[in-house]
Amino acid sequence: MPSYPLPPGRENTVIQRVLIRHGTGRDEMALLADDIRRSLKRLAEGGGGAPRTPGFHHTAYGGERRDG
């Protein structure tokens, strides 16, 4: 998500805008809020970057190609 600096006098404050698609359900919003809370906690504790055990992979086989 892009971050946006504020005008002069508030340039040390950075905000992030999150766009939510119309029709997004309460359960999905609760998951997003939980993710944001966990991320903020990790950053406040000095952590950063991706979690050690990501929960999503783009490939079903860990990147290995399986032919026919």
Greater model confidence, 63 or 27 = 27
How far apart CA 38 and CA 19 sit, in angstroms, is 19
Q: Identify the H or E element spanning 14.
A: strand 14-16
Q: Please compute the mean of the pLDDT values over residues 2-6 and round it to a whole number.
A: 70
Query: Mind listing the pLDDT tens digit for each residue in 15-62?
Result: 877 888 999 999 999 999 999 899 889 888 887 666 666 566 556 555
28 falls within a domain: yes
How far apart CA 55 and CA 33 sit, in angstroms, is 17
Q: Please tell me the predicted confidence (pLDDT) of residue 68.
A: 47
3 falls within a domain: no
Residue bearing tokens 């079903």: 60
35 falls within a domain: yes
9 falls within a domain: no
- pTM given for the model: 0.50
Q: Structurally, how many domains does the chain consist of? A: 1
Q: Is 62 exposed, middle or buried (0-12, 13-18, 19+ CB in 10 A)?
A: exposed
